[in-house]
Amino acid sequence: MLNVTSISKKFGGNQVLTDVSIKLDRATPITGLIGPNGSGKSTLFQIIMGFCSQDSGRVEFSGRRLDSLPPEKRCHAGLSLTFQDSRMLSFMTVEDNLTAIPTPQYGESLVRTFLFPRMVRRQEQEIRDKASDILKLLSLSDQARQPAGSLSYGQRKLLEIGRVMMTDPQLVLLDEPTAGINPTLIQSLVNVLETLVDKGIRFFLVEHNMPLVSQLCDRVLVLDAGELIFDGTAADARSDEKVVRAYLGSDVHAVS
């Protein structure tokens, strides 16, 4: 599904990624990507999504090269991304945070807005119904008409997942979705992810919460200082010497 080959990236004199190659297939619902801070995880996501260009290497998705495509075209190809820092559309309502997402919408064409209002209204109703269902699933229905800026940090993270649910991606890049949210909301998020996996959506997850990674991910990749040092199961990662040294620390029992 996703084929990242020999990606390298340098910011000034800082080598962020070195010859990273990753292959994800549909058989693995959620693949985890872990590594210490500054190991290049988010940069890799930005490169895959097209927000940042690599110095060398290539990105393919569903057999199609994405390197020359801007982020919006990569989204159309079936990729989606949630950002590490919660990016809320604060001056829009919670509902509009979802209804603005589907692309294309008839009403985004002004010709259709003015000449075919009925067609626009019909699709708009469908989008609103879908948003309403998602808000119910995320337990955010009561806040639907409030500005998204009034939500708590955890609710914002949930709403970000809701935005992903408004599209029909094949693969979602989740950048630290549980950072800074409480255990109850983490469980809600896990439930939502499991629902989406059942619908056939696949996830590439950057996460520091190791118990969660172990629970969700059948396969774990580990980046350290821009290099891929491990590819296997979460259980194997815990006992891998390189991973222990680079990420988990020397005292394995302290983190497990």
Partner 1 sequence: MEYFLHISIICLIYILFSSSLNLELGCAGLYNFGHVGFFAIGAYSSTLITLSDYPVWCGFLSSMLIAGAVGALFSWPVLRLTGDYFGVASLAFAEMVRLLLLNERWLTRGPMGIPGIPQIEVMGRIDNYTNLVVALLLTTVSLFILKKILSSPFGRTLKLIREDEHVARAFGKNVVSFKIRTIAIGSAFAGLAGAFWAHYIGYISPNDFTLQLTVLVLLCVVLGGRGTLLGPVVGSIIVIAVGEGLRFLPLPASMTASVAHIQSMLFGLVLVLLMLRRPQGIIAESHLLQET
Q: According to the binding rule CB under 8 A, does residue 71 interact with partner 1?
A: yes
Count of chain residues binding partner 1 (CB under 8 A): 40
Pick the closer one to partner 1 by CB: 110 or 254: 110
Of the candidates 23, 64, 65, 70, which one interacts with partner 1 according to CB under 8 A? Answer: 70
Is the peptide bond prior to 104 cis by the omega test (within 30 degrees of 0)? yes
Contact assessment for residue 188 and residue 139, using Cβ atoms and an 8 Å cutoff = yes
Report the nearest approach of partner 1 to the CB of residue 72 (Å). Answer: 5
Q: According to the binding rule CB under 8 A, does residue 170 interact with partner 1?
A: no
> What does each C-alpha distance from 234 to 8, 122, 211, 215 come to in angstroms?
25, 47, 9, 9
Max CA pair span of the chain: 67
Report the nearest approach of partner 1 to the CB of residue 179 (Å). Answer: 17
Q: According to the binding rule CB under 8 A, does residue 212 interact with partner 1?
A: no
Of the candidates 132, 167, 170, 214, which one interacts with partner 1 according to CB under 8 A? Answer: 167
Residue type at 61?
F
Of 15-23, 67-75, 193-201, 219-227, the window that binds partner 1 (rule: CB under 8 A) is 67-75
Report the nearest approach of partner 1 to the CB of residue 187 (Å). Answer: 26
Report the nearest approach of partner 1 to the CB of residue 103 (Å). Answer: 4
Contact assessment for residue 117 and residue 149, using Cβ atoms and an 8 Å cutoff = no
**For residues 76-135, which are near partner 1 according to CB under 8 A?**
76, 80-81, 83, 87-93, 96, 99-101, 103-110, 113-114, 120, 124
Pick the closer one to partner 1 by CB: 148 or 213: 148
Of 21-29, 72-80, 214-222, 227-235, the window that binds partner 1 (rule: CB under 8 A) is 72-80
> What does each C-alpha distance from 246 to 184, 226, 250, 252 come to in angstroms?
30, 12, 8, 11
Pick the closer one to partner 1 by CB: 8 or 167: 167
Distance CA 134, CA 128 (A): 10
Pick the closer one to partner 1 by CB: 93 or 132: 93
| Interacting residues toward partner 1 by CB under 8 A | 49, 51, 70-73, 75-76, 80-81, 83, 87-93, 96, 99-101, 103-110, 113-114, 120, 124, 145-147, 149, 163, 167
